[in-house]
Amino acid sequence: MKDSIIEIKNLNIEFSSENQKVVALEKINLDINKNEFICIMGVSGCGKTTLLNALAGFIQPTNGKILLKDNEIQGPGPDRAVVFQDDAVFPWLSVEDNIAYSHKIKSKYGDKEKELVNNYINLVGLEDFKKAWPRQLSGGMRKRVDLARAFSAEPELLLMDEPFGALDIMTKEKLQEELRKFWVERPRTIVFITHDVEEAVFLGDKVIVMTPRPGKIDLIIEPNLSKNRDMSIKSDSVFFDNVKKIRQRIKDH
Ligand SMILES: Nc1ncnc2c1ncn2[C@@H]1O[C@H](COP(=O)(O)OP(=O)(O)OP(=O)(O)O)[C@@H](O)[C@H]1O
Ligand SMILES: [Mg+2]
């Protein structure tokens, strides 16, 4: 039995306007295994968001295809959840209702779903803020709501586009630890986009480095760090060696 849940085959994506054609992605071939935590990194404009949008089904390939569980992705679907850089919490819903959103729109919010949503609220440490409105939360707390909502939808594939990009370093590192813990406790297939090398090595079990535009896969690294890592791993020489290797590669582009 094959392990891959996603198969990206000869993916090309071009954008055309009257006076310009931009090749954003060229010949991307990649298999992603079930419950793998993959980080994709590369310089600004190399096509990371384009790749994520194609996985989400927001844009279609110019050539090639993407299979999710053997079915070609042709549009967005409930089997995928996306977390963007800006938080996407609904301001008119409480914390609890935001996290329960995917269940409530399916009119399926019984005891089982309620328990699941409660678990996620506790997991992100917002049990005292269940009834709060998003405007009463800090940026880091809203991001936690975003993460809990995405996890609680229990999608096959979680897509994250620089979700911590706008946060201060302390909040960012805390959320990186929490996301990693989330994933260890509730394994899921995650594709996480970032241009932060340390973030990629800390979070990912596989780090994919893209070339500058047109984006191609340049390097795949498996950092091989302990599964239950926290920020203390950053003083480990293996962590540092991985960061150094990726930085050098990007510098050589
Ligand atoms: N809708 C669009 N129409 C035209 N060109 C686009 C469109 N979306 C992206 N591009 C172009 O495709 C290339 C890749 O863009 P993309 O947003 O995927 O980069 P990125 O790696 O996510 O960059 P960043 O790190 O800055 O977010 C860029 O040259 C961009 O101008
Ligand atoms: Mg982007």
Q: Quick: pLDDT tens for 27-51.
A: 999 999 999 999 999 999 999 999 9
Q: How far is the CA of 44 from the centre of ligand 1 (A)?
A: 8
Tell the residue nearest (CA) to atom 28 of ligand 1.
Answer: 45
4-79+157-252 folds as Rossmann fold (3.40.50)
Residue ranges, comma separated, of all CATH 3.40.50.300 domains in the chain are 4-79+157-252
Q: Rounded to an integer, what distance in angstroms lies between the CA atom of residue 17 and that of residue 120?
A: 44
Q: Are the beta carbons of 126 and 136 closer than 8 angstroms?
A: no
Q: Are the beta carbons of 233 and 225 closer than 8 angstroms?
A: yes
Tell the residue nearest (CA) to atom 8 of ligand 1.
Answer: 50
Q: Are the beta carbons of 47 and 238 closer than 8 angstroms?
A: no
Q: How far is the CA of 203 from the centre of ligand 2 (A)?
A: 18
Angle between helices 169-185 and 139-152 (to 10 degrees): 20
Q: What is the largest CA-CA distance in the chain?
A: 56
Phi and psi at residue 145, to the nearest 5°: -60, -45
Listed residue (26, 24, 30, 23) closest to 9, CA to CA: 30
Report pLDDT digits (tens) over 61-90: 999 999 999 999 999 999 999 998 888 899
Element (H, E) at 49: helix 48-56
Q: What is the pLDDT of residue 123?
A: 83
Q: Taking CB atoms and a 6 Å cutoff, what residues make up the pocket around ligand 1?
A: 15, 22, 24, 42, 44-50, 195, 213
Q: Rounded to an integer, what distance in angstroms lies between the CA atom of residue 10 and that of residue 54?
A: 13
Q: What is the pLDDT of residue 62?
A: 97
Q: What is the pLDDT of residue 145?
A: 93
Q: How far is the CA of 48 from the centre of ligand 2 (A)?
A: 5
Q: Rounded to an integer, what distance in angstroms lies between the CA atom of residue 176 and that of residue 230?
A: 9
Burial of 21 per CB tally in 10 Å (0-12, 13-18, 19+): exposed
For a mutational test of ligand 1's pocket, the pick from 16, 41, 50, i.e. the residue with the most ligand atoms closer than 8 A to its C-beta, is 50
Angle between helices 111-123 and 139-152 (to 10 degrees): 140
Listed residue (182, 190, 133) closest to 160, CA to CA: 190
Q: Counting atoms of ligand 1 from 1, which one is nearest the CA of 193? A: 22
Q: Which residues in the chain land under pLDDT 50?
A: none
Q: What is the pTM of this model?
A: 0.93
Q: How far is the CA of 44 from the centre of ligand 2 (A)?
A: 7
Q: Counting atoms of ligand 1 from 1, which one is nearest the CA of 195? A: 25
Q: What is the pLDDT of residue 1?
A: 65
Q: Which ligand is nearest to the CA of 213?
A: 1
Q: What is the pLDDT of residue 28?
A: 97
Q: What is the pLDDT of residue 166?
A: 84
For a mutational test of ligand 1's pocket, the pick from 28, 48, 85, i.e. the residue with the most ligand atoms closer than 8 A to its C-beta, is 48
The Cβ of residue 211 has, within 10 Å, a number of other Cβ atoms equal to 18
